[in-house]
Amino acid sequence: MPTAEHRLGAHRPRALRDLARIRGAAATAGAGSSEAMTIALAQIAAAFDEAAAINSFRLRVERLIGLRADHPALRARFGARAAMLFGRDLDVAIALVERWWRDERKAFQIASVFGSPTRLSLEVLQELRLILRLLRFKRRYAEYQDVVAALCEVPIAAAAE
């Protein structure tokens, strides 16, 4: 009989799913061999592959989403970009952030040729892209306006709509 964690639709946090993926790779490697080194190498490979990098990014964005909109870390990270997005619709903001991200990626590629560039602005834009797309997917247009206003420290006027 399948347990709750094996049933379809059962939700487990992303961190637990990632840990289960790593342990599954170790179990698969250990099935054919009993060498501890083979199992350890399989776990290391699973912990640092492309899926792990994507999960790490998503976990970081989930942590940011879990913070309040007026949290100092969010203001420091997204405040300047939010000020540039203030007064714009969510769809326009997504298009604008996408353009910023493409331009920043090109600049990063050029800077990579000449030395060691910083990735911070590229990472901030990548996180902002995902957050805005998630807001659009969940149809939270009003929440977008509230968050941008809170990040810009603009008083929010409650509209009776």
Q: List C-alpha distances in Å: 103 to 24, 79, 112, 125.
A: 39, 19, 14, 11
pLDDT, residue 3, reads: 55
Q: List C-alpha distances in Å: 143 to 4, 69, 72, 117, 154.
A: 33, 10, 19, 34, 14
Cβ(17)–Cβ(59) below 8 Å: no
Residue 31 exposure: Cα atoms within 13 Å on the Cβ side: 5
CA distance 159 to 161: 6
Read off the pLDDT of residues 89-116 as tens digits, 9 standing for 90 and up: 999 999 999 999 999 999 999 999 998 8
- Which pLDDT band, with edges at 50, 70 and 90, does 32 fall under? low
Read off the pLDDT of residues 33-72 as tens digits, 9 standing for 90 and up: 668 888 888 888 888 888 888 888 888 888 888 888 888 8
pLDDT, residue 1, reads: 42
pTM: 0.71
User: Domain residues of the chain, as ranges?
Assistant: 13-66, 69-154
- Which pLDDT band, with edges at 50, 70 and 90, does 161 fall under? very low
Average pLDDT, integer, range 144-153: 87
pLDDT, residue 113, reads: 92
- Which pLDDT band, with edges at 50, 70 and 90, does 159 fall under? very low
DSSP SS3 for 20: helix
CA distance 99 to 104: 9
DSSP SS3 for 124: helix
Q: For residue 115, which amino acid is it?
A: G
